[in-house]
Amino acid sequence: MPKTEAEIRLPTQDLRDDLPFFTETLGMRLDKIYPADDPAVAVVSGHGLRLHIEKGAPEPPGTIRIRTDDPDAFADGARDLTAPNGTQVEITELDPPLIVPPTIHSFVVRRLADQAPWIVGRAGMQYRNLIPDRLGGSIIASHIRIPDGGPVPDMVHYHTVGFQLIFCYRGWVDLVYEDQGPPFRLHAGNCVIQPPEIRHRVLFASDNIEVIEIGVPAEHVTTIDHEMDLPNDRIDPDRRFHGQRFVHHIVDEATWNPHRLAGFESRDTTIAENTGDVAGVHVVRRTDGRPTFHRHDADILFSFVMEGAMTLEGEGRDPYRLSPGDAFVIPPGMATRYADPSEDLELLEVSLPGAFRTTAVPAPT
């Protein structure tokens, strides 16, 4: 394998002005300079970057971003600098805190029949957006499918998130997670949560696999980990990643209990318990009793129709007859009823936080 090096070229008018900035202010190392009698080129390196600074180079000066775990100790605490050659330098935190935008509440109904576009995303997977306005950036809900099964061109990676759910809707997919043992198969009806920054990889998928993925906030960073191989040697199912424990919920091991809404029952995935109540996830189905109007005080309440049909009635809104593939968000304080549910109705319900109040109310007039 031949030895190779890469560098970025930047222009300069006078190296005597630029070198002190890059070597002293930014703390980079001078590697090369030539010609000796009248230097026109210098090569400096540092912070994972190699720069070729050349007199008369045609490129514009560009922008350098330096990420550090102690910005106050770097470049005397400056955050924005300009080199004599015009290069802009931004000093930022190495691991900036996760910011979840405040929820902008809205009533959302997203129907499969409306033909929302499928977008090709990471690793060739197809994405359908279930909350178009993303509630102000506080959450993203995606219906994801892989039409052709087989190996998935994925790499070991992690997400900087506050909460993330993967619910297998159709088919199956093979996954592997940091500290959770060998790869396993996630079957339809089962789900996992991916705690913040847990390393993982998608390995193999069945034909026509479909999953529902929830992420908080809507825009979050995915980072490839080039150093870790999975499965790894350590097994620690009780490990907490930023306060959350990995959960693999299996439908065959679940119990059904009365749901918060009259006329329904649900199975609790234990996600609220294992995330410190950051979020709750239930699968809801029809049972005895008459559905009534109700209000809730959750910040976010998202539902996806997996099987059957129902009519979503909401105060001040026309009723919506919903069927498999449809999704909806009910804002806090809005009176709604899940009317005329079919016997085979089954919903995926995700709430943030996991615990919240539901109150029965009279039908709106």
Q: Which one, of 170, 166, 174, 168, lies nearest residue 208 by Cα?
A: 170
Three-class DSSP category at 279: coil
Give yes or no for a contact between 159 and 222, defined as CB atoms under 8 angstroms apart. Answer: yes
Q: How buried is 257 (Cβ within 10 angstroms: 0-12 exposed, 13-18 middle, 19+ buried)?
A: exposed
Same CATH topology for 8-93 and 97-365?
no
96 CB contacts (<8 Å, ≥6 apart)? Answer: none
The pLDDT of residue 148: 85
Architecture of domain 8-93: Roll (3.10)
Global pTM value:
0.89
Q: How many CB atoms lie within 10 A of CB 206?
A: 18
User: Residue 262, Cβ neighbours under 10 Å: how many?
Assistant: 18
Residue 124 CB: number of other CB atoms within 10 A?
A: 12
- Which residue, among 156, 299, 137, 145, has the nearest Cα to 222 in the 3D structure? 156
201 within 8 A of 163, measured Cβ to Cβ: no
pLDDT in tens, the chain (365 residues): 789 989 999 999 999 999 999 999 999 999 999 999 999 999 999 999 999 999 999 999 999 999 999 999 999 999 999 999 999 999 999 988 899 999 999 999 999 988 777 888 766 678 999 999 999 999 999 999 988 889 988 999 999 999 999 999 999 999 999 999 999 999 999 999 999 999 999 999 999 999 999 999 999 999 999 999 999 999 999 999 999 999 999 999 999 999 999 999 999 999 999 999 999 999 999 999 999 999 999 999 999 999 999 999 999 999 999 999 999 999 999 999 999 999 999 999 999 999 999 999 999 87
Q: Provide the pLDDT for residue 13.
A: 94
pLDDT at 84: 96
C-alpha pair distances (Å), 157 with each of 4, 23, 215, 298: 26, 34, 15, 31
The pLDDT, as a whole number, for residue 60 is: 94
Per-residue pLDDT, 226:
96
Cα end-to-end span (Å), the chain = 77
Residue that is written with structure tokens 């060998």 in the block: 182
Strand-pair category, 8-12 with 49-55: parallel
Residues 6+ apart with CB under 8 A from 318: none
Query: What's the CATH code, domain 97-365?
Result: 2.60.120.10
Specify the amino acid at residue 162.
G
Query: For residues 283 and 346, is the Cβ–Cβ distance under 8 A?
Result: yes
Domain boundaries, the chain: 8-93, 97-365
Residues in the chain, how many? 365
pLDDT score for 186: 98
